[in-house]
Structure 1
């Protein structure tokens, strides 16, 4: 894949956050972006890196009317030795293609995606924060750009990648979060788009998340659509429970996003000889376990927060603490191991790290 590069002039470059400045999440964006166009019958072409800026879309662009869109999320890390590290980007590229197939969008060869990622990160390397715990967030996105109305797969598509420096996803950092079990709304059903990383899933979750935050909760835990009693995933994370010494997470049944961090946790747990089960988990089992101590800890996993310990669940108007509201030993172990690998501080035994030369 040939990529043309147009660098931003010095007088048009964006302001970089100063060292020690509070980054937050998704507040800053780097100088450049990658774009590539698709047309039915021609395939992908015109791969380019240009200065970060607005996209030009027709008001009738089909993504604006029918939501034909997918995206990914990953990070670039600055290792101790100065190397730039991407964590399992091939898995994100593979998942983007699965999402594309589900949303009737064209797939992109994994190696082409990785070539684009490396070229963009290499160009904007100076945007990678040097502070511990910070990183460069990478957002590949694909949207239907064909101008026209009619419910059908679009014949013209845009793929683009933007990046930006980020700190901790939650303002409080690595502290236990309060989770409200959602009882009114549903996120996804089997046969729907729950396993695809598409904007429609997140749009459907906004009201529940807004209501939860209004009463002091950090996230919602979604239940299954059929029975309304099995835990599925948290708004921005997969969910894990440590029940009677066993690490348990809901199975990938078609309505849950197959998280890259989720797979990382399962791989490490099996390597550490921790009993693991991917099975349905009833919310009553979770609440009972929190009350009698058989649920020793719970945590979420995802690219943004990596590992997020859960301090409590609220359901039916009653809130129960997990591990007395504190961070569990296993949550901390996973967090330290994964971030240690990402920042090049721990041996990468699984070859998860892709270095950007």
Structure 2
């Protein structure tokens, strides 16, 4: 009996251990509710009372444990990715966890691209990128949660591929997962019923099962935190400068070899070898780009980091990861982007090839990919 008295309180909705320390972590409740009988966590409360799912995050190891149970189910897996950070938000190795279950790939934030974008070409690009990451998808749907573009098609695709099964919704942080779940709740769910819970075997994490009218569920999984995304390591106050909320305004620079572009104090792009050519930066309009000579770049950074070169601020840079240099070789006639996860990409416009160096915080994903535009 004594052990029961000291057992941590658990959510009456999903069974997770309750706490009042950090609103962003699973199981949060206000301190005033912590000791109440029948208390529910913030996420369950919002689903039950407002038909609204809140974003809950876990680290990569915890998320992989959570995914481990999906292959044994008969379900539709809806994977939401961020078009602005496609390679950064795609769940690596998802295929081995979903088994034979179909995957619907929902690509959010298409409102950031120009209205003249060829959407069929973009859909083909998405399918090719997913294949290269080892992910087989049953369908691709393009949408914008912010602008409510394409969500009817998302709901339609879920209906087409669900075939009476549960729907598991998975995604990284800040990709629009909660917005989609909220829409699915409003379209499919009768929330007069109590929340139901299903815990995966062998884990202490809980996925919230939101009941559907046909007796199946939408399964809201926590958002996975990937440390290779710039948006995960930048101070929260600087996110507005990093993450675009308006259509991207491309900035094109004619560069000679030996010239450098600074993206605040977040990254640096050096044109090392090649003929004079243009590079187009597709980054947030809130981010200031500075051009200088490569021979002056180290001195400029040392003198102006955190002041003229910002974000982050000088005091935040003290705890920021040190930069790592990535050398990338762009072959002639290759239509490629230099992708920096969470920051955006730099489109290589020349046809003669180039050698570039990208300096970015240690651990941030930097790579060459086929041009998205």
- Give yes or no for TM over 0.5: no
Structure with higher Rg: it is: 2
Q: TM-score, normalised by structure 2?
A: 0.23
- Greater RCO structure (CA 8 Å; 6+ sep): 1
Q: TM-score, normalised by structure 1?
A: 0.24
